[in-house]
Chain A
Amino acid sequence: MAVVAAAAGWLLRLRAAGAEGHWRRLPGAGLARGFLHPAATVEDAAQRRQVAHFTFQPDPEPREYALETQSPLPRNFEMGQTQKMNLFQSVTSALDNSLAKDPTAVIFGEDVAFGGVFRCTVGLRDKYGKDRVFNTPLCEQGIVGFGIGIAVTGATAIAEIQFADYIFPAFDQIVNEAAKYRYRSGDLFNCGSLTIRSPWGCVGHGALYHSQSPEAFFAHCPGIKVVIPRSPFQAKGLLLSCIEDKNPCIFFEPKILYRAAAEEVPIEPYNIPLSQAEVIQEGSDVTLVAWGTQVHVIREVASMAKEKLGVSCEVIDLRTIIPWDVDTICKSVIKTGRLLISHEAPLTGGFASEISSTVQEECFLNLEAPISRVCGYDTPFPHIFEPFYIPDKWKCYDALRKMINY
């Protein structure tokens, strides 16, 4: 918050400088101008990035893939009545189902009462009352600590952290308290009914503090589960699984998909199992692994590879970061011999390093090429340099090509 104030102060000074005629040409001043003067001209608008780095690709009708792939949805899974929902609507639907099914469930966080900054909780307060959907003060540590307390009494706590970038004040509570509660008390006590939801990942204009992907920090903590969906259908099923799971879970929602991703989602509740990766597309030459928004990027890379190189790619969505599905990934690598992992988070210490390390332990002799990781740079998430920072399809394609030609 101090940083925001400092940034605001800096911008105000810039404006003042302009007014007095002491305007200095700063790099990216064109964008700064657009920032300071909201009524931007047409030429300024053209400077903003109009095109996202991915295209959302909904899965084929879930009824089909529930039968065809190794997705463990029951064979007779009936979609039932569905509705076209985008990601935030599917989250609302999941929360609605939860609050209806479980009388002890409560939702809390900053601004959830009016519907949330991403409209994930619209209508819930009216429907379930202010005792079950309420705002908290601006204190992430307090939100999670409070959630742990609720969960320990046995009620279902669904906490919202407004942006994943702000989860760090709560890191101590998550890692030292929530994750260890059951272990340290020898199963006498637990906070398993805690779920923390948080918008995650790049969004095009988020800059340092509205774009982070902190899953790697939590991957290092036994006792919690970290789940990231790639689509509205996945989000609802995974979120319901997290809420019902008897372990504290963190559910990261790719914020860029809140509106960009829309597909038919069942109105009734349903579960998608945790700790199971999904093979979205079968292939024989190289395995591509990603989660969240990046799944759509590598899907495109897979079709590019097929078209330009004649390479058949197996695309896997990891879904649960910890505990992660080692078997599915290893089985795939044993088949293909090549692995490319991609995520937006910085390269060093990112979750791709864990996957890479485990795969080389388990499948060393099956590897035809070094495992490739296409990730963000080891810098804080930049503002104007975002299009250069993110691992877009061209970087992934380039890495894939190098792997094929190894």
Chain B
Amino acid sequence: MRKMLAAVSRVLSGASQKPGQIFEAYNMAALWKLPCIFICENNRYGMGTSVERAAASTDYYKRGDFIPGLRVDGMDILCVREATRFAAAYCRSGKGPILMELQTYRYHGHSMSDPGVSYRTREEIQEVRSKSDPIMLLKDRMVNSNLASVEELKEIDVEVRKEIEDAAQFATADPEPPLEELGYHIYSSDPPFEVRGANQWIKFKSVS
């Protein structure tokens, strides 16, 4: 039996408002019955604009129009797993593309220069964190069903923290790349292609 691969295409809810691109993709995928899962990760804000203020219809899972869509609770890990299984099976059976909208949340601001509270309230953020945090929900589920003890999960927490600290340490301690790398990989070219710099005497080599 030939294994059908399903392509997964991810779109953030801010980006799905980019006119044309996503709808052209929907059109082509549906027209040619391509096995493609379109995933819309809806974290309710595009930078500083909430979806209610930006979208004529916030039912993103319906905006595939002729492509069937699922609305999935993105905060529930098991829910996401099952929905993805369903979507993958759907695609692999040759029925064409499917759209999945995962409803989730963004705790921090969009970037380092966005405090994240100028367009929403702290209470809202705290409410989501205390009631719908995915890790917390899974933890409670596992502990209540005696799948794991609180101590075992604490150990995982400690391991994860260490891993992140190590990664951060590696990143900050890693030497900066040489300036020549500014020109690397612009073109694939043999011999390396010469790239002009800020003035006529600065040249980089696009090594690739």
Report which A residues bind B (CB closer than 8 A): 136-137, 139, 141-142, 145-146, 169, 172-173, 182-183, 186-187, 190, 192, 222-223, 225, 246-247, 323, 361-362
Contacts and interface: CB of A to CB of B under 8 A. Distances in A.
B188 interface: yes
19 contacts: A139-B24, A139-B27, A142-B24, A142-B25, A142-B27, A145-B21, A145-B24, A145-B25, A169-B20, A172-B21, A182-B186, A183-B186, A186-B185, A192-B188, A222-B186, A223-B187, A247-B187, A247-B188, A323-B193
Nearest to B9: A149
A359 to B, nearest CB: 11
A323 B24 contact: no
A139 B188 contact: no
Given A222-B195, A323-B193, A361-B200, A187 B185 contact: yes
Contacts of A169: 20
Interface string B182-193: 001111110001
B62 to A, nearest CB: 21
Nearest to B182: A183
A362 B199 CA distance: 12
A223 B28 CA distance: 27
A190 B28 contact: no
Given A141-B21, A142-B24, 15 more contacts: A137-B28, A137-B31, A141-B20, A142-B27, A142-B28, A173-B21, A182-B187, A182-B188, A186-B185, A187-B208, A222-B195, A223-B186, A223-B187, A225-B187, A247-B187
Given A145-B21, A187-B184, A222-B195, A137 B27 contact: yes
Contacts of B28: 136-137, 139, 142, 146
Nearest to B28: A142
Contacts of B27: 137, 139, 142
Contacts of B186: 182-183, 222-223
A137 B24 contact: yes
Given A222-B186, A247-B189, A182 B25 contact: no
Contacts of A187: 184-185, 188, 208
Contacts of B185: 182-183, 186-187
Contacts, number: 54
Contacts of B189: 246-247
Contacts of A182: 185-188, 208
Contacts of B21: 141-142, 145, 172-173
A141 B200 contact: no
Nearest to A223: B186
Nearest to A180: B186
A244 to B, nearest CB: 12
A264 B171 CA distance: 60
Nearest to A357: B200
A225 B200 CA distance: 21
Interface in B166-208: 184-189, 193, 195, 200, 208
Contacts of B187: 182, 223, 225, 247, 323
A182 B183 CA distance: 12
A223 B31 CA distance: 31
A273 to B, nearest CB: 12
A243 to B, nearest CB: 14
A187 B185 CA distance: 6
Contacts of B208: 182, 187
Nearest to B201: A361
A145 B25 CA distance: 8
Interface in B138-175: none
Contacts of B25: 142, 145
Nearest to A361: B200
Contacts of A247: 187-189
Nearest to A222: B186
A173 B27 CA distance: 17
B206 to A, nearest CB: 9
A240 B25 CA distance: 29
Contacts of B20: 139, 141, 169
A137 B24 CA distance: 9
Nearest to A190: B188
Contacts of B188: 182, 187, 190, 192, 246-247
Nearest to B18: A172
Contacts of A192: 188
Contacts of B193: 323
Which of A145, A173, A183 is most buried by chain B, counting CB atoms within 10 A of its CB? A183
Nearest to B187: A247
Nearest to B193: A323
A362 B31 contact: no
A112 B24 CA distance: 19
B24 to A, nearest CB: 3
Interface string B7-48: 000000000000011001101100100000000000000000
A49 to B, nearest CB: 37
Contacts of A222: 186, 195
A234 B184 CA distance: 30
B89 to A, nearest CB: 23
The 7 nearest A-B residue pairs measured at CB: A142-B24, A246-B188, A139-B24, A187-B185, A182-B185, A361-B200, A183-B185
A172 B189 CA distance: 24
A279 B126 CA distance: 70
A172 B19 CA distance: 12
A139 B195 CA distance: 33
